[in-house]
């Protein structure tokens, strides 16, 4: 069977429920799967992978690169998932990618401080080797 | 009139000095976040502080555009989410708070559970320990085994030792309990630890002799009360169908002889409990309790074999739990002080400077290092749930045999070190970035039992779903209902 994609035909009334808060492109295939394309110059691969992991109970995901810096995530849902639930999951998934990106930024920026705090916290214990 | 703006040498810096430091911007301190709802985020940090902010404020905060001196800026600063030139002491303070939170780990094993028998007079279909009805020789702990278990117990560096007697029904081997209590006290004359004793019992076999011994030796009792008579009888059958009368009469006798604070009760939620949380709470109040621990069934023992565990899912239980929690808050608002103990544990993790010692909600998990269990047959287990799993034929968390293995062999066994390492939420997939991490844990035995993996996939985890839902509800309640917040804060033991 030919794998067809089409832009969601639920505009504009319900697009608010499906559309993510970032610029990811969202399309729904006739088999019910939903593809979301992320620009890897904006969203990191790790952030997308972490979001996929978090939504494993709601949908299965296949990741593939379409073009340089274009990451496609194809989300497949259980047959029992209705359209309303599906839209909610896709929207939450895209928002989770944004959150994961922000988490990466915060972790990177605060890593040195965190190490300093932990070293200070345990400096008077035998956990740190005394040279 | 004194001009405070004049910059003179003295004890205090000038106002301009503070304003200048604020103008130089702020640094982020390490924190995590999670969505509370459609409009708000919860920010948390390693020392357990949390702050709820609007969705738009989070990127503004991370991008350093929060106005110094604003209400949000001051909240972020006072709760250790940001650092500016005016808060040079903050890092040391955060380190000290973190060390205080983690102090329980250095105390090491406090709770030592002795399964003195697996025999029981009840035949509860949800029994998670797979009790036995007969064969005293096979299913009772011997004095020789108990003596070795006491050797092990007093090797613990913890200054506080709690010895908890479990079953089956421990009263069926009460002679051994007496021996252990007296022998532990004799040995403690040398060790000088703070030693407590608790018996987990259904109270059906309570006698005056048992009560006298408990009074003389200051032994506490913990029992099971599942709710009103019909519910308790359905959940906890025994010959004569009198388990409810026995437990109520037992509670009253214990209170009369030992005192009102020497008996506590636990409930277990079965399918028949769903929709009846108010009746169950009313029953606890009627019996004079001022707290209840609303507990779901665990995936072990007869609860699995009889399919009682599978008879409801996490969402069903959460509906039950939140009905109960709302009712308890309503009771408090009407002037009846009453506590839901699981919420109380989480609230303590949020607001107390110390860890709670609740083994399922700590990192690393309390397996062996907070609590350890000696089974009737001399096997040593990492937790109560570990031996429940073993009774189903899976000895994954069996740490050794008290007659065959040394303290060092047991405490340094791979069977213990591996799951402990796998329960450190700071590095567990799915937990590492979670905004609720400071209040949560990663129960390796539960995840092994349900997913055959001690780490577990948290997206598929009932443990994760349950705890995240409860934490969201508690924080939402505190944000949106000032009276509820006051009540919930009264459950924190500082």
Domain boundaries, given as residue ranges, for chain A: 5-121
Q: Domain spanning B109-475 has what CATH number?
A: 3.20.20.70
Amino acid B71: pLDDT: 95
**A118–B91 C-beta distance less than 8 A:** no
Q: Determine the straight-line distance between the first and last CA of chain A, rounded to whole angstroms.
A: 68
Measured between beta carbons, which residues in chain B are less than 8 angstroms from residue A105?
62
Q: Domain spanning A5-121 has what CATH number?
A: 3.30.1360
Domain limits, CATH 3.20.20.70, in chain B: 109-475
Angle between helices B208-217 and B174-191 (to 10 degrees): 10
The per-residue pLDDT string of chain B (494 residues; one tens digit each, 9 = 90 and over) reads 445 544 555 677 776 666 665 667 899 999 999 999 999 999 999 999 999 999 999 999 999 999 998 999 999 999 999 999 887 778 889 999 999 998 888 889 999 999 999 999 998 988 877 777 766 778 999 999 999 999 999 999 999 999 999 999 999 999 999 999 999 999 999 999 999 999 999 999 999 999 999 999 999 999 999 999 999 999 999 999 999 999 999 999 999 999 999 999 999 999 999 999 999 999 999 999 999 999 999 898 888 888 888 889 999 999 999 999 999 999 999 999 999 999 999 999 999 988 887 888 999 999 999 999 999 999 999 999 999 999 899 999 999 999 999 999 999 999 999 999 999 999 999 999 999 999 999 999 999 999 999 999 999 999 999 999 999 999 999 999 999 999 999 999 86
> Do you find a cis peptide bond into B331, omega within 30 degrees of 0?
no
| B33 beta partners | B43
Q: For residue A126, is pLDDT > 80?
A: no
Question: Which residue in chain A is spatially nearest to B60 when comparing CA positions?
Answer: A102
**A114–B62 C-beta distance less than 8 A:** no
**B98–A103 C-beta distance less than 8 A:** no
Question: Which residue in chain B is spatially nearest to A56 when comparing CA positions?
Answer: B459
What is the CB neighbour count within 10 angstroms for residue B278? 15
Amino acid B142: pLDDT: 97
B29 touches chain A (CB under 8 A): yes
- Which three-class secondary structure state does DSSP give residue B122? coil
Q: Do B327 and B281 form a contact (C-beta atoms < 8 A)? A: yes
> Of B178, B168, B174, B177, whose CA–CA distance to B139 is shortest?
B168
Measured between beta carbons, which residues in chain B are less than 8 angstroms from residue A116?
91
DSSP A23-82: --EEEEETTS-EEEEEETTTS-HHHHHHHHHHTTTT-EEEEEE-STTEEEEEEE--TT--
Angle between helices B90-101 and A83-121 (to 10 degrees): 100
What is the CB neighbour count within 10 angstroms for residue A111? 11
Report the phi/psi class of residue A77: left, alpha or beta, with left for phi > 0 and alpha for psi in -120 to 50. Answer: beta
Q: Do B319 and B330 form a contact (C-beta atoms < 8 A)? A: no
Q: Which residues of A touch chain B, with CB atoms under 8 Å apart?
A: 50, 53-57, 95, 99-100, 102-103, 105-107, 109-111, 113-114, 116-118, 120-122, 125
Measured between beta carbons, which residues in chain A are less than 8 angstroms from residue B91?
113, 116-117, 120
Angle between helices B174-191 and B143-153 (to 10 degrees): 30
**Global ipTM:** 0.85
What is the CB neighbour count within 10 angstroms for residue B354? 15
């Amino acid at each position: 069977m030919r794998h067809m994609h089409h832009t969601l035909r639920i505009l504009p009334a319900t697009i608010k429920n499906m559309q993510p808060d970032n610029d990811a492109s969202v399309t729904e295939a006739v088999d019910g799967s939903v593809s979301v394309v992320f620009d890897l110059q904006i969203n990191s691969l790790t952030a997308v992978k972490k979001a996929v992991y978090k939504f494993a109970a709601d949908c299965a995901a296949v990741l593939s690169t379409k073009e340089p810096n274009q990451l496609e995530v194809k989300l497949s849902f259980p047959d029992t998932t209705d359209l309303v639930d599906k839209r909610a999951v896709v929207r939450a998934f895209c928002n989770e990618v944004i959150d994961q990106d922000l988490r990466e930024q915060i972790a990177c920026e605060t890593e040195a401080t965190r190490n300093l705090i932990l070293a200070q916290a345990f400096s008077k214990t035998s956990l740190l080797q005394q040279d | 009139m004194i001009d405070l703006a004049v910059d003179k040498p003295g004890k205090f810096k000038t106002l301009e000095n503070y304003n200048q430091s604020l103008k130089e911007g702020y640094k982020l301190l390490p924190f995590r976040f999670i969505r509370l709802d459609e409009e708000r985020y919860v920010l948390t940090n390693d020392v357990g502080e949390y702050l709820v902010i609007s969705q738009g404020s989070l990127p503004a905060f991370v991008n350093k555009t929060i106005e110094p001196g604003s209400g949000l800026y001051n909240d972020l600063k006072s709760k250790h989410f940001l650092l500016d030139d005016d808060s040079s002491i903050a890092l040391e303070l955060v380190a000290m708070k973190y060390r205080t939170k983690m102090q329980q780990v250095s105390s090491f094993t406090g709770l030592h559970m002795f399964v003195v028998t697996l025999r029981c007079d009840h035949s509860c279909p949800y029994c998670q320990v797979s009790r036995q009805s007969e064969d005293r020789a096979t299913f009772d702990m011997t004095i020789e085994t108990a003596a070795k278990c006491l050797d092990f117990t007093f090797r613990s560096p913890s200054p506080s030792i709690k010895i908890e007697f479990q079953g089956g029904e421990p009263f069926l081997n009460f002679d051994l309990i007496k021996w252990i209590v007296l022998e532990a006290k004799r040995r403690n004359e040398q060790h000088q630890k703070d030693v407590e004793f608790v018996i987990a019992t259904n109270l059906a076999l309570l006698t005056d002799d048992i009560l006298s011994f408990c009074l003389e030796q200051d032994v506490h009792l913990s029992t099971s009360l599942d709710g009103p008579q019909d519910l308790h009888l359905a959940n906890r059958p025994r010959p004569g169908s009198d388990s409810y009368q026995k437990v109520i009469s037992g509670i009253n006798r214990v209170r009369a002889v030992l005192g009102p604070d020497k008996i506590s009760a636990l409930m277990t939620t079965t399918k028949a409990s769903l929709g009846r949380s108010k009746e169950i709470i009313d029953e606890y109040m009627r019996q004079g309790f001022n707290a209840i621990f609303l507990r779901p069934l665990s995936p072990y023992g007869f609860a699995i074999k009889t399919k009682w565990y599978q008879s409801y899912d996490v969402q069903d239980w959460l509906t039950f739990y939140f009905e109960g929690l709302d009712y308890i808050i309503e009771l408090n608002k009407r002037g009846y002080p009453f506590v839901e103990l699981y919420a109380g544990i989480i609230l303590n993790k949020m607001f107390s400077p110390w860890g709670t010692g609740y083994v399922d909600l700590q990192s690393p998990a309390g397996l062996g290092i907070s609590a350890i269990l000696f089974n009737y047959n001399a096997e040593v287990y990492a937790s109560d749930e570990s031996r429940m799993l073993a009774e189903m034929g899976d000895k994954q968390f069996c740490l050794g045999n008290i007659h065959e293995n040394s303290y060092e062999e047991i405490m340094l066994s791979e069977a213990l070190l591996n799951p402990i390492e796998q329960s450190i939420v700071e590095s567990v997939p799915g937990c590492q970035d979670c905004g609720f991490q400071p209040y949560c844990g990663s129960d390796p035995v539960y995840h092994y039992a349900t997913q055959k993996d001690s780490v577990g996939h948290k997206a598929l985890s009932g443990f994760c779903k349950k705890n995240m839902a409860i934490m969201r509800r508690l924080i939402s309640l505190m944000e949106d209902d000032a009276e509820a917040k006051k009540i919930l804060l009264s459950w924190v033991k500082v």
